[in-house]
Chains A and B, each alone.
Chain A
Amino acid sequence: MKPARFDYHCPASVDEAIAVLARYGGEARVLAGGQSLVPMMNFRIATPAALVDINRIPSLAHITVEGDTVRVGAMTRQRVIESSPVIKEKLPLLAEAIKLVGHLPTRSRGTVGGSIAHADPAAEIPMVLLALDGEVVAKGPKGERRIAARDLFQDALTTSLAADEVLTEVRFPAMPANAGCAIEEFSRRHGDFALAAIAAVIVRDGDKCKSARLAMAGVEPAPQRLGAAEAILQEKGLGEEAIAAAAAKAAEGVEPLSDHHASADYRRHLSRVLLERAVKRAARARF
């Protein structure tokens, strides 16, 4: 289990990184935290001709607040998120999610941007980005562009980023101060990828649901927003029956993955159970 040969480049700037990527015409890979890419290389499932290591580009690691947006540099380590008071205050959903991402030693290296660009079906950070209607900034030979989360995740391990683009920043809209949030997920062991995960952000108005944002990971090849379930809650409120109806609606609509760890039926079942639990906890969270 040793990686195949590759050329190694360690650019000092994003522009330099883009130039190297362009030179390899799609055969190079960006190396961020490496917690997903390197295992694939050790198994020789991934055999890139070159690695463009963006760990030494200083401009890529930051957490800044700009108005209602929290801007997180792509190379911000997951561990930094975990201990950031800004994230705790503005993005409690991300703060909760990050503890579910691998283990402390993998969060030391793993990055926010790397997790998003890798787009594992079960990854929590993409689910959070989607739940919060966030976006990413990508830079390529033709310049910079912003990609909304809903346009980013296309399939398992597939995003709309081009091979010569570098994801530079992740932008999360700050959560409303009166929002409650919760992530409910189920994995076979602590720290493993979830068989199903639900993120819920609920703004209550008494028994009514002013706004509900629900996202799901681990069930389909790409994370999904659960619009139909959101609509039911917003229409019918946060009573037991409404939540059950929303969960049933969500489960009905999913097209789940099936693998050794969980069949499609089980994932569908989990999406319903977890959605109910996530909504109930989110609805309780700040009231």
Chain B
Amino acid sequence: MSEVEIRLTVNGKPYAGRCEPRKLLVDFLREDLGLTGTHIGCEHGICGACTILVGGEAARSCLMFAVQAEGADLVTVEGLAKEDGELNPLQQAFHQHHALQCGFCTPGMLIAATDFLRSNPRPSRDEIREGLSAVLCRCTGYRNIVDAVEAAAAAAPAAKT
């Protein structure tokens, strides 16, 4: 089948591209849009490295075809830091708590945690662990990631009241 045209918004910016319908969304982001922050770790939906926000909700970009994202509003790891490049509070918490080593799972971990905290702004430590079990990390043993997410939740304005 011939190529299809795709228009979508990523990190608030409009993009357009053409690809075969079979092209995975993660490949489209990385190859066609040059957004290589989203990583490929398994291509079968287990590792979570490719997790992005689709319409505000975390999803595996290896389990969607690019064509399905026509008209969608996506956020990738490149869209997390502030305009001036300053790390957002979650990213800062990851830095402060040494919540990354090789950094390969980090984009997916940050996105999954972003969505998790939105759906559960004041999680217990066990709930954080359960939420983060959506993304595999091979380096850290998770504790520092849990600490970082806990700290980010505690620092968020909603949790202060």
A residues lining the B interface (CB < 8 Å)? 1-8, 10, 31, 34-35, 38-39, 42-43, 51, 53, 55, 79, 83, 103-106, 108-109, 189-191
Contact = CB atoms under 8 A, between A and B. Distances in A.
Contacts of B137: none
A43 B115 CA distance: 28
Given A42-B24, A104-B131, A79 B57 contact: yes
Contacts of B107: none
B54 interface: yes
Given A5-B22, A42-B44, A55-B68, A104 B62 contact: no
Contact of A104 (B24, B45, B67, B115): B115
Contact of A105 (B1, B21, B68, B134): B134
B39 interface: no
A108 B62 contact: no
B48 A34 contact: no
A105 B43 contact: no
Main DSSP-derived SS at the A contact region = loop
A35 B60 CA distance: 9
A1 B44 contact: yes
Interface string B108-120: 0000100110010
Contacts of B4: 8
B57 A4 contact: no
Interface in B38-57: 43-45, 48, 51, 54, 57
Contacts of A105: 48, 51, 57-60, 112, 115, 134
A3 B67 CA distance: 14
A108 B22 contact: no
A8 B67 contact: yes
A83 B115 CA distance: 14
A104 B48 CA distance: 11
B43 A1 contact: yes
Given A38-B45, A53-B68, A106-B45, 14 more contacts: A3-B22, A4-B22, A5-B1, A5-B20, A8-B65, A34-B68, A35-B60, A39-B63, A43-B44, A103-B134, A105-B115, A106-B59, A108-B58, A190-B130
9 contacts: A2-B24, A2-B27, A34-B63, A42-B62, A104-B115, A105-B58, A106-B60, A108-B115, A109-B64
Nearest to A49: B1
A38 B22 contact: no
Contacts of B64: 34, 38, 109
Contacts of A106: 45, 59-60, 63, 134
A104 B116 contact: yes
Interface in B84-137: 112, 115-116, 119, 130-131, 133-134
Given A34-B64, A105-B115, A191 B133 contact: yes
Most buried by B among A1, A35, A79, A105: A105
